[in-house]
Amino acid sequence: MTNAVRRLFGKIPFARSLYGFFLAYRQTVRLGSAESMNQWMDESFQKQDPWNYTGDAEEQKRFAIAVKLLQQASHQSQFENAFEIGCAEGIFTQKLAPLCKRLVASDICPSALERAQNRCAGANAKFMIWDLRSSPMPEDMDLIVVMDVLELFFRRPDLRKAKEKLVSAMPPNGFLLLCNSRQILSFESTLWSKWMIRGGKRIAEYFARDPRLEVIASETSDLCVTTVFRKK
């Protein structure tokens, strides 16, 4: 598709929405399986900080929001046992560790996990290879952190299984922090994005509908949606 055609589509709301659905469906086909996602992650982490978490001011603001919401949820006290899913190179792990007495950080990519260990040397954090799709959940975690992970579950049944796995593992009064990137407004407001559960807004809404969870705090920016849930 040429740039001229893209610009024309961008001026027509229905066409823009249809094009968004096409892009979302193409992602599902290309990256929907565990094998293709793992391969994509390995390729992405061939270079350091592939999504510029350290250099992007908006990313740093996003991390600061997550820390603020967790401090509000804990009333400024430390979480006893925390589990971070998808720690990548440990950039947020550094900020999360002081909020926890014990922290286990995990990722599916060995090279990213090795960098996270080096980055967080001396912090009260342990690291492990772990996959939300297939690995058993650890027990007795009063905080589970899932940032930039669920937005990569492109198939609705996979996201449903992930939600059930996370919520079932939470103890009563346990906390869950989700942070996922937003879609642009013309995609985010469509019925298909709700059906596909695509984007941070839709993922947060999907978890909020679970009767076992209540929203403790939430903040939406142009970049992402960050929400803290408590299990009833």
Residues 201-216 have pLDDT tens digits of: 999 999 999 999 999 9
The sheet with strand 175-181 has its strands ordered as 125-129, 100-107, 79-85, 143-147, 175-181, 224-231, 213-220
Rg (the chain; Cα; Å): 18
Q: CA 55 to CA 113: how far, in whole Å? A: 20
Q: Are 175 and 166 in contact (CB under 8 A)?
A: no
User: What local confidence, expressed as pLDDT, does residue 4 receive?
Assistant: 53
Sites in the chain below the pLDDT cut of 70:
1-32, 185-186
Residue 2 has phi, psi (to 5 degrees) of -75, 165
Q: What is the pTM of this model?
A: 0.86
Let me know if residue 26 belongs to a domain.
Answer: no
Query: Could you tell me the residue range of the domain that residue 215 belongs to?
Result: 34-231
Residues 2-11 have pLDDT tens digits of: 555 445 444 5
Cα angle, residue 81 at apex, residues 64 and 158 outer, rounded to 5°: 75
Q: Are 177 and 146 in contact (CB under 8 A)?
A: yes
Instruction: Find, among 165, 170, 131, the residue nearest to 149 by Cα.
Output: 131
Let me know if residue 120 belongs to a domain.
Answer: yes
Let me know if residue 29 belongs to a domain.
Answer: no
User: What local confidence, expressed as pLDDT, does residue 8 receive?
Assistant: 45
User: What local confidence, expressed as pLDDT, does residue 9 receive?
Assistant: 46
The CATH number given to whatever domain includes residue 113 is 3.40.50.150
Number of H helices, E strands in the chain: 10, 7
User: What local confidence, expressed as pLDDT, does residue 11 receive?
Assistant: 52
Which pair of tokens denotes residue 185? 């407004």
- The count of domains in the chain is 1
Let me know if residue 21 belongs to a domain.
Answer: no
